[in-house]
Amino acid sequence: MTSEQPDWIAVDWGTSHVRAWAMTNAGKIIAENGSAKGMGSLAKDEFEPALLELVEPWLSAQTTVVACGMVGARQGWKEAPYAEVPCLPFDGKTTKVETHDSRLDVHLLSGLSQMKPADVMRGEETQIAGFIAAEPDFDGVVCLPGTHTKWARISAKEVVSFQTFMSGELFACLSNHSVLRHSVAGKAWNDETFETAINDAISHPEKLAGRLFSLRADSLLHDLGNAEARARLSGLLIGAEIAAARPYWLGMDIAIIGADTLSGLYSRALELQGCAPRCPDAENLTLAGLAAAYLTLKETSS
């Protein structure tokens, strides 16, 4: 039990993990907790028990819970309909979940959708909302690197359009389940090789498939080290993405929101193209986005 009872609870519920924060109306974090019970491992009737495992010590009376991420997916606790761009990252609407425990008042945030070209996001819009809350006059592009990297055009506090790239998932598949796994095993890294691969992929993105197999051939014939092979694979995939996303970042103010290591790779790739991206703290932005949604929800319900 916390010494101070929270006014509300913030939850970031992804596919593989869930994190929760006990919050005051003033934005103070009283306590936090997390588990590996992400959306991907739960049936619909298992979400409430998984949430209670994290937050029950914080509950006394009915407490508002604001949750973002894959918890609102079709396979999640309850589907939260997408908001279609162009729109605010949070429009004030939530999807309420019926619970057995009367102390829980659970609200799920919607993801964003784009009809043409077809695209969707869940969770990233909350980080964007937190970023816009901190920089309401921002006009540019937010890059959110991850398994499925998002590039979102922001103007007048709205998400105007966005595009998703599966570069992170491709890296995982190729490094764990393809013939390249023999060449890129381990965590060793070579910055110079990464930068060379970035420039190569941006200059010749049409040669990506051939460049990928050359990793294996160089390992067999020229003793290419695992550090160089892993860095080259990453550079080729990120470089091809940077080339395809050029209409988003060229001449734009760029913010990169993601894990430090991956954000650093994207930042370096863009710096090689003459850009000057910045990397605000991703966790704080998720919490800021959830807080902005809670305050809006509180205002509209009062």
Same domain, 110 and 213: no
| pLDDT at res. 185 | 94
Q: What is the pLDDT of residues 213-265, one digit of tens each?
A: 999 999 999 999 999 999 999 999 999 999 999 999 999 999 999 999 999 99
Among 66, 99, 122, residue at a domain's last position:
122
In degrees, to the nearest 5, what angle opens at C-alpha 258 toward C-alphas 254 and 264?
Answer: 70
Is 1 within a domain? no
Question: What residue ranges in the chain does DSSP mark as E strands?
Answer: 8-13, 18-23, 29-35, 63-69, 83-84, 94-97, 104-109, 112-114, 119-121, 140-144, 149-155, 158-165, 254-256
Domain that holds residue 238: 164-271
| pLDDT at res. 1 | 46
Among 122, 155, 183, residue at a domain's last position:
122
Q: Parallel, antiparallel, or unpaired for β 140-144 and 149-155?
A: antiparallel
Is 27 within a domain? yes
Is 242 within a domain? yes
Same domain, 13 and 117: yes
pLDDT in tens, the chain (302 residues): 456 889 999 999 999 999 999 999 998 999 999 999 999 999 999 999 999 999 999 998 899 999 999 999 999 999 999 999 999 999 889 999 999 999 999 999 999 999 999 999 999 999 999 999 999 999 999 999 999 999 999 999 999 999 999 999 999 999 999 999 999 999 999 999 999 999 999 999 999 999 999 999 999 999 999 999 999 999 999 999 999 999 999 999 999 999 999 999 999 999 999 999 999 988 789 999 999 999 988 888 76
User: Contact 149/244 with Cβ under 8 angstroms?
Assistant: no
User: Contact 121/150 with Cβ under 8 angstroms?
Assistant: yes
| pLDDT at res. 298 | 85
Is 134 within a domain? no
* 148-153, Cβ contacts within 8 angstroms, sequence gap of 24 or more: 149/241, 149/266, 150/121, 150/124, 151/245, 151/248, 151/249, 152/121, 152/124, 152/128, 153/248
Same domain, 87 and 175: no
Domain count, the chain: 2
pTM confidence score: 0.92
| pLDDT at res. 260 | 93
| pLDDT at res. 3 | 66
Closest CA to 150 of 124, 111, 115, 113: 124
| pLDDT at res. 302 | 61
DSSP classification of residue 145: -
